[in-house]
Chains A and B, each alone.
Chain A
Amino acid sequence: MSEAVFVELLSLSSGIVLLTAVLVLWRRELAMVIRVFAVQGVALAGLVAVLAVRESSAELGIVAAGVLILRAGLLPYLLGRALTAAGPQRRETRPLVNVAASLLAAAGLTLLALAVSAPLVALAPSPATAAIPVGMAVVLIGFFVLVTRRRALSQLIGFLLMDNGITTVGFLTTAGIGLVVELGVSLDILLAVLVLGVLTGWMQTAFGNTDLDELRELHD
């Protein structure tokens, strides 16, 4: 793979990762959001695969396949199941911050990520590290989703966005997180999603909806 093609592919995949993160903020239909999240998983897997080809590392290749299966297949599937369990309300109707403001905030967060990761990029300038701000931005946007969206499922997606961002930064900064580490992190994510999926179902049966602010009643 020539240098130019590598840079093009890297830019494309990281660009898609960032774009899908912003799209999650934009769309209100939860089914659509899950689909966007799956696309992000594909893009992330693509990013890892590009890196694997570049470094001709079989291990990274396996990781890329794993990321694809988990983040583009298994997690969206589980989220979809949780969505059906969550009852008839399939829209994020009243986010705490409206969509237009959310998009502006996403722009601000991206700028912040760019500014913060400048020293990281300066440590070892290369096409791969130049994409670090994308990972940081996705982490911050994921956190933002967590703070401003009401549905339990949106929270779950925010959490997964953060994890996607962290994984992106991880792959871009190091010459590859070990297979074992990645496997462990993936299992954690899977477990968290399963638990939160079950929780969503319970909330639906207990309160009739999955608005997290209903939980306010539980505090002492």
Chain B
Amino acid sequence: MNLVAAGLVGAVVVAVAAATAALLVPRPARSAVVGVGTVLCGASGMAAGIVALTGPGWSAAVAGLLPLTGVVLSVDALSGVFLSVIGAVGIAVGIYGIGYARHGLDGRGVQAMEPLFVAAMLLVPAAGGVGTFLVCWELMALTSLLLVLAEHTRRVEVASAARWYAVMTHLGFVAILIGLVVLAGHADNDSFPALRVAAAGLSPATAGLVFTLTLVGFASKAGILPLHAWLPRAHPEAPSHVSALMSAAMVTLGVYGIVRVGFDLLGGGSRWWWLLVLALGAVSAVYGILQAAIGTDLKRLLAYSTTENMGLVLIGVGAGGLFAAAGNMLLAGLALTAALLHVVNHAAFKTLLFLAAGSVLHATGSRDLDDLGGLRPRMPVTTAAFGLGALAGSALPLGPAFVSEWLLLQALVHGLAAGGMATAIMMPIAVATVALTAGLAVATFVKAFGVGFLARPRSEHAAAARESPPSMLAGMGVAAAVCVVLAVAPVLVLPVIGAASGRVFGVADPVLSGLLAVRLQGFTGSLSPLLVAAAVVFATVVFAVAARLIAARHRARVAARLWDCGAGPLSARMEYTATSFAEPLQRVFDNVLRPEHDVDITHYRESRYLVDAVSYRLRVPDRVEHRLYRPVLSAVRAWGRAGPRLANGSVHLYLGYGFAVVCGALLLLVVTR
């Protein structure tokens, strides 16, 4: 039994033990036991992932554990990337959950689900056969669904969000099921090696069908447009540490599925597959960050940012597929490296952001940015954590996303000459998309951080906020540390990720990374995150010291009131709110977002020229959802209403149906024979 197997088995055993303990241990100690169990489970899975990344793979088959197919497990470097990500998120969330669960989330069921969810997610990339994969996928969906439902007794929206999530995740599951079963139908058995053999002999049409079906399922899990509708519902309504698990770990498994099925099982396929993936990624990236930029619900904003980041990852995956279809394997490896590195970075900063948002929610009871503000003196650690996460998420230097987006842009820019007309058209668009997304991300996170944490509190509960308990701070600390390490020293992860994505295309590591510089293999282009960080820190220090010195040379400071137009002291109502901060952006993208304004003016009874009150309401509905889901839902509803008309209680009508069907079938038999 090698180390990968030991790690995986350990993770599952610990998770089951922790879940059992959650059912038995009394309430005061429960969250601590479960937290420790989750941490151990995550650590065990992460260890297995790291071993798989650095060493040879591992595979095993246990017949009889599942009916018909048995359990087939196989872990290679690609699985290793995702195992490590999930494990690491599990560690941070486990620590955080100890304190957070005391906030009324320490019921038996919810606590038992948490380690099981982590274990189920760990098993998905470890699955080596269709049957095993689908069972683990469904287990992951069910445990996460139960966790989303955790607070259903407190808010009514939770039930609706969970319904959306349940329906969409299961429709996605059905799509994946059909796709993989069609593929497995051409193979000797359902293990991945057999599928690889079978895929070589598949007709392009069948392979395209398999890929499209699985893409639908995996994209819905990854929150890609237009199947993202569950994400901005379920993420805000789930407990925050569960949101972190879902957004940082579970959602990335959609990307894993696309890479595994598209590149590994189907062996690359046609160009249109990857053009489709790239286009979906680009649209999701822009639309996701736009919705995030104008959103005022902190967790909803983060959920839309997840859609954006998965969109960026899919741009990388799609570009990799395009380059591979054009025969440029090195460039394909580079694009996939950028995508996988972004998966890792996104997991780090999104965990941090969701945990910090949970800390805010814990302290103030509000997710509405317009109601927050002034948290910096009251919650210094949470503010620092969110600030770091915001910096990381906005793809600026000193943040990890900077490195991965730089790699992505390099791949896209160099890919211009890689293949035919479609690539030549698509690449500039993709570059522009990434650039626009990065800009909007900065605006989004400046808004979230500035409006949410700085200035003065805009509500009583924000004014009464208190810093969270130490275990929550420790969980955020772990995530923050990982963020800093990834930003300053990507050399720690880049070689293994590069090797893993190179192996997908059968080339060597496309990125030469040293401690000081990251260089591209075969192209000119290098970046030194460490030097950039050092320069930024140095410049900041120099500037601060210089400012102090200059200030000290002049005479002593004079305290004076801010100029307030003579209107009296500035109040919190005069601050920027999230809505007002995003207003210019909303104006610019008016055609895309189509906000709904509602102005209500009431006059005095005595005179129509004097205004008594003006009420103004602004709503920005999710337009894709509006246009795409409404018709479908109303069609389903109409279909449901037609049902009772078909079954009106008359025995003769029911018999008539049977008679008509029998006669119809017989007629068909006669005609077709």
- Do A and B truly interact? yes
Chain A positions within 8 Å of B, measured between CB atoms, are 96, 109, 112, 115-116, 119, 140, 143-144, 146-148, 150, 212-213, 215-219
Contacts A116-B666, A116-B670 given: A144-B659 contact, CB under 8 Å? yes
| Inter-subunit contact B670/A112 (CB<8 Å) | yes
Alpha-carbon gap, A116 to B663, bound state (A): 10
| Complex CA distance for A119 and B647, rounded to whole angstroms | 36
Q: Is the Cβ of A147 less than 8 Å from the Cβ of B666? A: no
Cβ–Cβ < 8 Å partners of B536 in chain A: none
Please, which residue of chain A has its CB at the minimum distance from the CB of B671? Answer: A115
* B436 on the A face (CB < 8 A): no
Interface centre among B652, B662, B669 (most CB of A within 10 A): B652
Q: Tell me whether A216 and B648 are in contact (CB under 8 A).
A: yes
Q: Report if A143-B662 is in contact (Cβ < 8 Å); known contacts: A112-B667, A115-B670, A119-B673.
A: yes
Whether a CB of chain A sits under 8 angstroms from the CB of B591 is no
Taking CB atoms, residues of chain B closer than 8 Å to A143 are: 655, 658-659, 662
A119 CA / B672 CA spacing, docked (Å): 13
* Known A112-B670, A115-B670, A116-B670; contact A96-B663, beta-carbon cutoff 8 A: no
* Residue pair B649, A146 in contact (C-beta under 8 Å): no
Contacts of A215 in B (CB 8 A): 649, 651
Complexed CA–CA distance, A140 and B661 (Å): 12
B670 touches A147 (CB 8 A): no
A146, B659: Cβ atoms closer than 8 Å: yes
- Known contacts A112-B667, A112-B670, A143-B662; A219/B655 CB under 8 A: no
Cβ 8 A contact of B652, one of A96, A109, A115: A96
Q: Which residues of A contact B655 (CB under 8 A)?
A: 143, 146-147
Q: Max chain A CB contacts within 10 Å: which of B648, B670, B673?
A: B670
The verdict on B650 contacting chain A, using a C-beta distance below 8 Å, is yes
Q: In the complex, A175→B625 CA distance in Å?
A: 66
CB distance from B667 to the nearest CB of A (A): 7
Q: Are B670 and A148 in contact (CB under 8 A)?
A: no
Taking the complex as formed, is B185 at the interface, i.e. its CB lies under 8 A from any CB of chain A?
Answer: no
What residues on A are CB-neighbors of B26 within 8 Å? none
- Assess the A216–B670 pair: CB atoms within 8 A: no
A212 B666 Cβ-Cβ under 8 A: no
Residue B649 contacts which of A119, A150, A217 (CB distance < 8 angstroms)? A217
Does B656 sit at the interface, judged by CB under 8 A? yes
Contacts of A147 in B (CB 8 A): 652, 655-656, 658-659
Residue of B nearest to A108 (CB): B663
Q: How far is the CA of A212 from the CA of B655 in the complex (A)?
A: 12
Contact A212 B652, beta carbon cutoff 8 Å: yes
Tally B residues with Cβ within 8 Å of A: 17
Chain B CB within 10 A, most for which of A119, A147, A150, A217: A147
Cβ of B648: which chain A residues have Cβ within 8 Å of it? Answer: 216, 219
Q: Find the A residue at minimum CB distance from B660.
A: A147
Residue of B nearest to A143 (CB): B659
A213 touches B651 (CB 8 A): yes
CA distance A147 to B670 in the complex (A): 23
User: Could you say which of B650, B659, B669 contacts A213, with CB atoms under 8 Å apart?
Assistant: B650
A192 nearest CB across to chain B (Å):
15
Instruction: Give every chain B residue within 8 A of A144 (Cβ-Cβ).
Output: 659
- The answer to whether A212 touches B649 (Cβ under 8 A) is no
User: Across the interface, which residues of A come within 8 angstroms of B663, CB to CB?
Assistant: 109, 112, 140
Nearest opposing residue in chain B for A212, CB measure: B651
Residue-wise interface mask of B (503-521) relative to A, using a CB-CB cutoff of 8 A (1 in contact, 0 not): 0000000000000000000
For window 633-661 of B, CB contacts with A under 8 Å fall at: 647-652, 655-656, 658-659
Query: Would you list the 9 A-B pairs with minimal beta carbon distance, nearest first?
Result: A219-B649, A216-B649, A115-B670, A147-B655, A147-B659, A147-B656, A212-B651, A116-B666, A143-B659
A212 contacts across to B, CB distance below 8 A: 651-652
Interface residues of B in 414-445 (CB under 8 A from A): none
The answer, among B647, B649, B656, B666, for a CB contact under 8 Å with A218, is: B649
Chain B, Cβ-Cβ closest to A111:
B670
In the assembled complex, the CB of B627 is this many whole angstroms from the nearest CB of chain A, namely: 37
Q: B656 CB to closest chain A CB, in angstroms?
A: 5
Q: Return A94 CB to nearest CB of chain B, in Å.
A: 12
Q: Choose from A112, A119, A148, A216 the contact partner of B650 (Cβ within 8 Å).
A: A216
Taking A116-B670, A213-B652 as given, write out 14 further A-B residue pairs in contact, using a Cβ cutoff of 8 Å, ordered by the A residue number: A109-B663, A112-B666, A116-B666, A116-B669, A119-B673, A140-B663, A147-B652, A150-B652, A212-B651, A216-B648, A216-B649, A216-B650, A219-B647, A219-B648
Q: List 25 A-B contacts (CB under 8 A).
A: A112-B667, A116-B666, A116-B669, A116-B670, A140-B662, A143-B655, A143-B658, A143-B662, A146-B655, A146-B659, A147-B652, A147-B658, A147-B659, A150-B652, A212-B652, A213-B651, A215-B649, A215-B651, A216-B648, A216-B649, A216-B650, A216-B651, A217-B649, A219-B648, A219-B649
A150: which B residues are within 8 A, CB to CB?
Answer: 652
Give the Cβ gap from A140 to chain B, nearest Cβ, in Å: 7
From A112, which residue of chain B is reached at the shortest CB distance?
A: B666
With A and B bound together, what is the CA distance between A116 and B667 in angstroms?
8
Residue among B647, B651, B662, B669 facing the most chain A CB atoms (10 A cut-off): B651
Q: Which residues of A contact B662 (CB under 8 A)?
A: 140, 143
Minimum distance in angstroms from B367 CB to a CB of chain A: 43
Q: Are the CB atoms of B669 and A148 closer together than 8 Å?
A: no
Out of B652, B658, B666, name the residue touching A148 (CB < 8 Å): B652
Tell me the complex Cα distance, A19–B648, Å. 35
A217 to B659, CA, bound (A): 23
Task: Give min CB distance, B673 to chain A, whole Å.
Answer: 7
Q: Which residue of A lies closest to B666 (CB)?
A: A116
Say how far B139's CB is from chain A's closest CB, in angstroms: 36
Q: How far is the CB of B356 from chain A (nearest CB, A)?
A: 52
Residue in chain B with minimal CB distance to A96: B652
In the bound complex, what is the Cα–Cα distance between A215 and B654 (angstroms)?
12
Per the bound structure, the CA–CA distance linking A146 and B656 in Å amounts to 9
CB distance from B115 to the nearest CB of A (A): 44
B600-631 residues with Cβ-Cβ distance < 8 A to A are none
* Bound form: Cα–Cα A146–B650 in Å: 13
From 431 to 472 in chain B, residues with beta carbon under 8 angstroms from any chain A beta carbon are none
A219, B651: Cα distance in complex, Å: 10
CA of A14 to CA of B496, assembled, Å:
83
Residue of B nearest to A146 (CB): B655
Specify which chain B residues have a CB less than 8 angstroms from the CB of A213 in the assembled complex.
650-652
Looking at the assembled complex, report how far the CB atom of B641 sits from the nearest CB atom of chain A, in whole angstroms.
16
| Residues of B with C-beta under 8 A to A140 | 662-663
Alpha-carbon separation in the docked complex, A140 to B665 (Å)? 13
